[in-house]
Amino acid sequence: MKVLQEEGVDTIFGFPGGAVIDIYDELVKTEINHILVRHEQGAVHAADGYARASGRIGVCLVTSGPGATNTVTGIASAYMDSIPIVVLTGQVNTSLIGNDAFQEVDIVGISRPCTKHNYLVKNVEELGRILKEAFHIARSGRPGPVLVDLPKDVMQSFTEFRSNEEVRLRSYQPTYQPNMKQLARVINLIKKSERPLIFAGGGVISSGASNELKKFAKKIHAPVSSSLMGLGAFPASDPLWLGMLGMHGTYRANMSTSECDLLIGIGVRFDDRVTGKTQSFASKAKIVHIDIDPTSISKNIPVHTPIVGDCRITLQKLNSFLAKETMRGLKGIRDPWLEQISEWKAKKSLAYNQKDIIKPQFVVEKIYELTGGKAIISTEVGQNQMWAAQYYHFDKPNSFITSGGLGCMGFGFPAAIGAQAACPDRVVVDIAGDGSIQMNIQEMATAVQFNLPVKIAVLNNRYLGMVRQWQELFYDRCYACTDMEAAPDFLKLAEAYGAVGLRATTPEEVVPVLKKALAVNKPVIMDFLVEREEGVYPMVPAGADITEMLLV
Amino acid sequence: MNNNGIKEKHTLSLLVENEPGVLARIAGLFSGRGFNIESLCVAETTEPTISRVTLVTKGDMYILEQIKKHLNKLIAVIKVFDFTGSPFVQRELALIKIKAKPEYRAEILRMVDIFRSRIVDVGTEHYTVEITGDGGKIEAFLELLKPLGVKEIARTGAIALAREKK
């Protein structure tokens, strides 16, 4: 407990059980706020949302056996997106481990491939050190989830608390400082480049490098695009912003990627949803890749100039190099490139036509307008996620919370709860689909109990929309098992939980419903009955060149 | 980026924390990412908190690069050496139980002598031979013994150390 407090933990998301009663017995005696979820998966997603919104470590506590296995999806999602969380799981008595005891599971074994590191605490003497290490590992280097398995008998024993032990691991020293020679090479490449493009990812956000990125882009007059995880790293209101690139990227972002002569990837991992066909990805460009994790470099795309280091420190160094350089004349060189990009921009790839039936894009745009672009937006996974990414324009980091790598349905709502707990003064909206919201709808009770006034906007098309869209485009419109005709009445469902339910069936009702929802200090479900067969465009078919976009 | 996809055998030597689960982490990394392990040997070093893992793997330059980076990324792995490409000594050990009928005993002993191996167990009907060397030597020895009747065999993977500068 003392370690947790020393680490600045103010909130734990959890669900008690036999193996962790002792911990709970101590927990309630502390100042730490405990948020009782309704399913352990919700606890991990909430800790994840808390971490993304606050930049601090999210912590969750669950019991052994099923409690532990229920965390796995959440842990895998945090692992894929490099989110620092610490998952504390109960375990049976050390004497019973391996005996198939009641509620026993080898969670250290199960979670090994989806945690950054994990521990089984075998005696109480190790507890303090291990917890310290867990927090250290979760937050440093490329952040990620760390699981600590806590047997009941270890939790029942006592030891003297030793404070402020410094964590030093001989086997773990992430590289923060970039190689200076490589930086000099990058400066040269920038000077020579006529058509540079910056591609920012989640690493910019997790290292807190947004301001440095802004400075960098302005100084070198380079347009900026980002991955899904990088949204908010660079202000969407900036003229240099191109929008997201990749499978559902904007026309100009994808065209720029193909045409640029220098691609500077910062805190990205060149995921397949970004690159499409890897052979033709940015094929005219020299690629610079800045990342703290050497395994990300040249994993999917061969890199011309790799830089292993922290994004913020690296950008600071690049900026101070550049401050000494006169960049006069550079703007002139870049003008034709920027003009070309505004030509591409004229092809309004995100245009849609709002007629009688509510368009989901329209709902997201109105959410953007009515929240002044200042809300924390979480999403579920599928079409709702992509529309949120395309039509909500993020100016600030730590504002867009989405399960990017794992693509985990049921993520958005508990993550929104975590974000709301971290930032009580901000508006938190979960942009959801009718399919994925039902995957963790039980957390409504959590939101109500702890008065976390999360607003859920269900873009209700009664389909598993993204899969339906693939079926429409690539499977001859055979909508196999994607029609969700039987669904709960979300309005009544909200009321049953003690929350507020609202519905919009026509475009005229969208704004009043949103205004009403934003005005109440309670959790709200908004049910927007949207165009059933609306698709997400532009779309690059999986594995195709990213310029082969299907436009509306 | 890759050397035309040519797959090469590499001997990697890792210093790792001597704690439970480390081997599972390494094995899990290989299976999870579709890398391949040809052989693997683990034992404590003179420093009891550190173990040395010697691992033989196969892949093109690109795969090897990824394997090394991922091994380094494991928290419990202290250091990764790739011996291939620089001078190193590598040995394997095999215990071979051979049918040893009286009329073949002299022949077996001659071969044991030629290969500088040793008999470590003798029975009325068998010899058990201990042989060390690189994989090729052990293979060659086995080929010669096979016609005489190899009853059982136990082989280790390779262990290796880099050569010191002379």
| Predicted local distance difference test score (pLDDT) of residue A120 | 97
For residue B53, give how far its alpha carbon lies from the nearest alpha carbon of chain A (Å). 15
Query: Cα(first)–Cα(last) distance of chain B, in Å?
Result: 33
| Predicted local distance difference test score (pLDDT) of residue A162 | 74
| Predicted local distance difference test score (pLDDT) of residue B109 | 94
| Predicted local distance difference test score (pLDDT) of residue A5 | 81
The closest of A105, A19, A98 to A61, measured between CA atoms, is A19
DSSP A190-252: HHH-SSEEEEE-HHHHHTT-HHHHHHHHHHHT--EEE-GGGTTSS-TTSTTEEEE-STT--HH
What distance separates the 2 farthest-apart alpha carbons in chain A?
A: 73
Percentage of chain A lying above the pLDDT 70 cut:
99
Q: Which helix (H) or strand (E) holds B91?
A: strand B88-99
What distance separates the 2 farthest-apart alpha carbons in chain B?
A: 59
Contacts of A112 in chain B (CB under 8 A): 21, 24-25, 28
Residue-wise pLDDT for A291-315, tens only, equals: 999 999 989 999 999 999 999 999 9
SS3 state at A62: strand
Q: What is the DSSP letter of A483?
A: B
The closest of B95, B83, B29 to B52, measured between CA atoms, is B83
Residue-wise pLDDT for A344-358, tens only, equals: 999 889 999 999 999
Residue-wise pLDDT for A215-263, tens only, equals: 999 999 999 999 999 999 999 999 999 999 999 999 999 999 999 999 9
**Substitution target from B69, B77, B78, B80 for chain A, most A beta carbons within 10 A:** B69
Mean pLDDT to the nearest integer, A497-519? 98
**C-alpha dist (Å) from residue A431 to A46, A182, A383, A410:** 16, 41, 10, 11
C-alpha–C-alpha distance, residues A357 and A143, integer Å: 43
Name the band, by pLDDT with cuts 50, 70 and 90, for residue A161: confident
C-alpha–C-alpha distance, residues A542 and A533, integer Å: 20
Say which residues have a Cβ less than 8 Å from residue B56's Cβ, sequence separation at least 6.
Answer: B9, B10, B11, B12, B37, B38, B39, B40, B157, B158
**C-alpha dist (Å) from residue B11 to A364, B35, B51, B58, B94:** 55, 14, 16, 9, 19
The closest of A270, A217, A273 to A242, measured between CA atoms, is A217
Name the residue among A108, A116, A295 with its Cβ closest to that of B70. A295
- As given in the structure block, the two tokens for residue A277 are 């066909």
**Substitution target from B75, B77, B78, B79 for chain A, most A beta carbons within 10 A:** B75
Query: Could A113 and B28 be called an inter-chain contact, meaning their C-beta atoms sit closer than 8 Å?
Result: yes
Q: Which helix (H) or strand (E) holds A130?
A: helix A124-139
Phi and psi torsions of A164, nearest 5°: 55, 30
Contacts of A168 in chain B (CB under 8 A): none
| Predicted local distance difference test score (pLDDT) of residue A51 | 98
Residue-wise pLDDT for B53-76, tens only, equals: 999 999 999 999 999 999 999 999
Mean pLDDT to the nearest integer, A471-498? 95
Residue-wise pLDDT for A165-175, tens only, equals: 678 899 999 99
Q: What is the DSSP letter of A530?
A: B
Name the residue among B1, B20, B77 with its Cβ closest to that of A171. B77
Query: Could B75 and A137 be called an inter-chain contact, meaning their C-beta atoms sit closer than 8 Å?
Result: yes
SS3 state at A475: coil
| Predicted local distance difference test score (pLDDT) of residue A163 | 67
Mean pLDDT to the nearest integer, A133-145? 97
- In order of start, what are the domains of chain B with their CATH numbers? 8-82 (3.30.70.260), 89-162 (3.30.70.1150)
C-alpha–C-alpha distance, residues B163 and B86, integer Å: 8
Judged by a CB distance cut-off of 8 A, whether residue A167 touches chain B is no
The closest of A20, A53, A51 to A429, measured between CA atoms, is A53
Residue-wise pLDDT for A166-208, tens only, equals: 788 999 999 999 999 999 999 999 999 999 999 999 999 999 9
CB atoms near residue A104 (< 10 Å): 19
**C-alpha dist (Å) from residue B128 to A35, A131, A246:** 66, 51, 63
| Predicted local distance difference test score (pLDDT) of residue A28 | 93
Residue A128 pLDDT > 70:
yes
Mean pLDDT to the nearest integer, B23-41? 94
| Predicted local distance difference test score (pLDDT) of residue A324 | 85
Element counts in chain A: helices (H) and strands (E) = 22, 18
Judged by a CB distance cut-off of 8 A, whether residue A113 touches chain B is yes
Judged by a CB distance cut-off of 8 A, whether residue A279 touches chain B is no
Judged by a CB distance cut-off of 8 A, whether residue A98 touches chain B is no
The closest of B92, B105, B122 to B11, measured between CA atoms, is B92
DSSP β-ladder status, B8-17 and B50-59: antiparallel
SS3 breakdown of chain A: % helix, strand, coil, rounded to 5? Answer: 40, 15, 40
Mean pLDDT to the nearest integer, A430-435? 97
The closest of A483, A415, A489 to A447, measured between CA atoms, is A415
Name the band, by pLDDT with cuts 50, 70 and 90, for residue A52: very high
Query: Could A171 and B66 be called an inter-chain contact, meaning their C-beta atoms sit closer than 8 Å?
Result: no
Name the residue among B24, B66, B77 with its Cβ closest to that of A299. B66
For residue A401, give how far its alpha carbon lies from the nearest alpha carbon of chain B (Å). 26
Report yes or no: A42 and A440 within 8 Å, Cβ to Cβ: yes
Contacts of A137 in chain B (CB under 8 A): 75
Q: Provide the number of CB pairs (under 8 Å) joining chain A to chain B.
A: 37
Query: Could B62 and A116 be called an inter-chain contact, meaning their C-beta atoms sit closer than 8 Å?
Result: no
- In order of start, what are the domains of chain A with their CATH numbers? 2-156 (3.40.50.970), 180-346 (3.40.50.1220), 360-529 (3.40.50.970)
Residue-wise pLDDT for B79-137, tens only, equals: 999 999 899 999 999 999 999 988 899 999 999 999 999 999 999 999 999 999 999 99
The answer to whether the pTM exceeds 0.90 is yes
Mean pLDDT to the nearest integer, A46-68? 98
Name the band, by pLDDT with cuts 50, 70 and 90, for residue A6: confident
Mean pLDDT to the nearest integer, B46-54? 97
Residue B165 pLDDT > 90:
no
Contacts of B25 in chain A (CB under 8 A): 112
CB atoms near residue A167 (< 10 Å): 13
The closest of A144, A56, A53 to A417, measured between CA atoms, is A53
Residues of A tagged active-site? 40, 102-103, 152, 466
Judged by a CB distance cut-off of 8 A, whether residue A97 touches chain B is no
Contacts of B21 in chain A (CB under 8 A): 108, 112, 120
For residue A22, give how far its alpha carbon lies from the nearest alpha carbon of chain B (Å). 26
Report yes or no: A12 and A27 within 8 Å, Cβ to Cβ: yes
For residue A230, give how far its alpha carbon lies from the nearest alpha carbon of chain B (Å). 23
Residue B5 pLDDT > 80:
no
Residue A164 pLDDT > 80:
no
| Predicted local distance difference test score (pLDDT) of residue B1 | 41
| Predicted local distance difference test score (pLDDT) of residue B4 | 60
- N residues, chain A: 552
Average pLDDT of chain B? 93
Mean pLDDT to the nearest integer, A97-104? 95
Mean pLDDT to the nearest integer, A24-35? 94
| Predicted local distance difference test score (pLDDT) of residue B3 | 52
Contacts of B32 in chain A (CB under 8 A): 113
Q: Which helix (H) or strand (E) holds A289?
A: strand A286-291
For residue B40, give how far its alpha carbon lies from the nearest alpha carbon of chain A (Å). 20
**Substitution target from A295, A299, A301, A304 for chain B, most B beta carbons within 10 A:** A295
Residue spans of alpha helices (H) in A347-411:
360-370, 383-391
Contacts of A117 in chain B (CB under 8 A): 75-76
DSSP A409-471: TT-HHHHHHHHHHH-TTS-EEEEEETTGGGGSGGGHHHHHHTT---EEEEEE-SB-HHHHHHH
Contacts of A293 in chain B (CB under 8 A): 73
